[in-house]
Amino acid sequence: MNKISSGAPETPLIRDLIRERQADLTASERRLTALLLDESLVVGLQSITRLAENAEVSTPTVVRLARKLGFGGFPDFQNAIREEIAARMKEPLAKLDPELGSERRDHIISRFARAMSKNINSTIDRLDTEEFDQVVSLLSDANRKVSVLGGRISRSNAHYFFNHLQIIRPGVTLMDSSPSVWPQALLDMDAQTVLVVFDIRRYEKELDRLAAQVAAQGGTVVLFTDQWGSPIERNAAHCFRTMVEVPSSWDSTLAINFLLEAMVAAIQAACGSTDRLRALEDIIGDSRIFRGGRE
């Protein structure tokens, strides 16, 4: 795995710790981790007895798993779960700075600029360039159908990516945001389908179910998410985590767009031909629909 890395290391997420140590886990421990991941770790906030019962394992198994993941015991493990969930599910109002707008010496523009720079640099630090290149190759393949979909906050990212991809290559669809029409789209999704989905906190269950269905039908799911990782990740063949926190009540998707712009450039280069772009310009030039005024 070829990762760009610089700067101080961050505290690893529990999902990543489980993945790194998966080969060392017993069958019972894997059953427990499967439950934790399926429930987005929330089940781990129960008592050790209740957690063991739900996973159908013994309480010593829970303790062993906690220690294998690098914690001193179950209490430390549970505290880490609590902190991770709190960060992931932080209410928008809880992110508001009480001094926002009153601090003349440190304008919001400057604070945003610093946050954006940090987010982009941290996103680059954790980027797997080999995986990036694999996705570029995947999306450059004109034999594959590509569907793009975003969530409530990340819909603009989906529109941006779709608008560029459809000019570069054929067979690209922007899925309707209403889940009621997704079954019709699923009818045509198969092993030659790539679903590019965007999902940041708070994660949307409908998108998770759709991704699971696409994967079950043999399609390839490419996920763009935040630093904590959407539950869709378990069904994604490729996942890009980006930093989203800024001094605002809303998360920022600028780091996602940074990756998208780089990916659009790489896909265009991989496809090589600009015939579609020239054809589009000709259509715009020839069609009266797009002309103002009269002949």
d(C-alpha 81, C-alpha 83), whole Å:
6
- Residue 159, pLDDT > 90, answer yes
- Residue 72, pLDDT > 70, answer yes
Name which of 253, 228, 250 is nearest 96 in CA terms.
250
pLDDT digits (tens, 9 = 90+) for 253-286: 999 999 999 999 999 999 886 777 777 777 766 6
Question: Residue 125: its pLDDT value, please?
Answer: 85
Q: Would you place residue 1 in the very low, low, confident or very high pLDDT band (cuts 50, 70, 90)? A: very low
Q: Would you place residue 97 in the very low, low, confident or very high pLDDT band (cuts 50, 70, 90)? A: low
Question: Residue 237: its pLDDT value, please?
Answer: 96
The larger pLDDT score, comparing residue 87 to residue 290, is at 87
Q: What is the mean pLDDT of residues 135-158?
A: 95
The larger pLDDT score, comparing residue 171 to residue 97, is at 171
Do 185 and 193 meet the contact criterion of CB atoms below 8 Å apart?
no
Residue-wise burial string across 92-128, b where 16 or more C-beta atoms lie within 10 A, e elsewhere:
eeeeeeeeeeeeeeeeeeebeeebbeebbebbbbbbb
Do 151 and 199 meet the contact criterion of CB atoms below 8 Å apart?
yes
d(C-alpha 71, C-alpha 74), whole Å:
7
d(C-alpha 38, C-alpha 41), whole Å:
8
SS3 assignment for 191-235: CCEEEEEEECCCCCHHHHHHHHHHHHCCCEEEEEEECCCCHHHHH
What share of the chain has pLDDT > 90, as a percent?
Answer: 48
d(C-alpha 290, C-alpha 90), whole Å:
45
Q: List the alpha helices (DSSP H) in the chain.
A: 14-20, 27-38, 48-55, 59-68, 74-88, 108-125, 129-140, 155-168, 182-186, 205-216, 254-271, 275-286
State whether residue 242 is helix, strand or coil: strand
What share of the chain has pLDDT > 70, as a percent?
Answer: 85
Question: Residue 82: its pLDDT value, please?
Answer: 84
Name which of 224, 202, 201 is nearest 211 in CA terms.
224
Q: Would you place residue 4 in the very low, low, confident or very high pLDDT band (cuts 50, 70, 90)? A: very low
pLDDT digits (tens, 9 = 90+) for 45-54: 888 988 999 8
In sign, the C-alpha dihedral spanning 76, 81, 87, 93 is negative
